[in-house]
Amino acid sequence: MNKITIMEASVRKWEDIIAGKSSDGGVLDCPPCRIFYILRCFGCPIAKYTGHKFCVGSPYPDWYWHHIEAHDKIFRRIYCPTCLKYAEAMRDFMKDIVADLRKKEALALKDRD
């Protein structure tokens, strides 16, 4: 599975959360974490994009801590407008990474020609 496909799956995950079809299970259901997180974050497209491991520099920490502080819930899903704002930010961030990966792939293909 290539990194673009993995990140597109992550976009779908966040779209399902926004639509109320699922909740966020963190590393347990994160498409990149399933491949790049084995007790440490190594090679993840998110880490490469932000320059930081463990989703630091992404909207995820805001989403995560909001659920702990505002809702005291184990299941992270949309409970309020702030949850929706953070989930949309996370989806949009994942879309930005997909676009960046596609751009880099196109440049690499161009360089080979």
Domain range for 12 is: 3-112
What's the half-sphere exposure (Cβ side, CA atoms, 13 Å) at 47? 13
Backbone angles phi, psi at 61, to 5 degrees: -55, -40
Query: pLDDT truncated to tens, each residue of the chain (113 aa)?
Result: 699 999 999 999 999 999 999 999 998 999 999 999 887 888 899 999 999 999 999 999 999 999 999 998 878 999 999 999 999 999 999 999 999 999 999 988 877 76
Q: How far apart are CA 26 and CA 36, in angstroms?
A: 13
Q: What local confidence, expressed as pLDDT, does residue 1 receive? A: 65
How many folded domains does the chain comprise? 1
Does the predicted model carry a pTM greater than 0.85? yes
